[in-house]
Structure 1
Amino acid sequence: MARNIWNWQQKNWPHFSYNEDALYTLELKFSQNTGTVLGAFKHVNEKEKEQLIIEILSNEALKTSEIEGEYLDRDSIQSSIKKTLA
């Protein structure tokens, strides 16, 4: 698996370029997906909302740790999040 590198490690940092059209499409898709999630979130009960938040936060923690080269235990992360939310 290719390792992602930080922006400041890119050879052209900080003078980078990007494709505005490609970003526009991604931004639009992100915005649409966000609306869908927010709409769905309004129709679930409190216990389901809490579980969804735990899933989102633990997924983010796992992905962030992978970027750093660390691999955490999902159950441990979720347990910690549950304690924090209580």
Structure 2
Amino acid sequence: MTMKTVFGMTLCALLILGTNSARAQQRPLRHDAEHYVLLRQHAERWSQEDREIDAKLASVRASNRGRPPNIVYILLDDLGFGEIGMPAL
């Protein structure tokens, strides 16, 4: 295969993936029944927490010349105790 062919195939693949992602984001999320049970139980508390977080983020943004903060969220699953950190634990 020539470099031009490889580039064309890569570009097509990226376009296909990009359009599928955009289309998936347009559809509303479908939650399971447990979500609605938890939402009913904790809606007021979650709403209050959301307002507090929004206020904190607004103050951070104001002190950062209008730019949003850089937030990195790392989710690790299926790790045993002591797998990350000191092996002596």
> What TM-score bracket applies, with the shorter chain setting the length?
0.3 to 0.5
- The structure, 1 or 2, with the larger RCO (C-alpha pairs under 8 Å, 6+ apart) is 1
Normalized per residue, the structure richer in helix is: 1
Structure (1 or 2) with the larger CA radius of gyration: 2
TM-score for the superposition, normalised by structure 2? 0.34
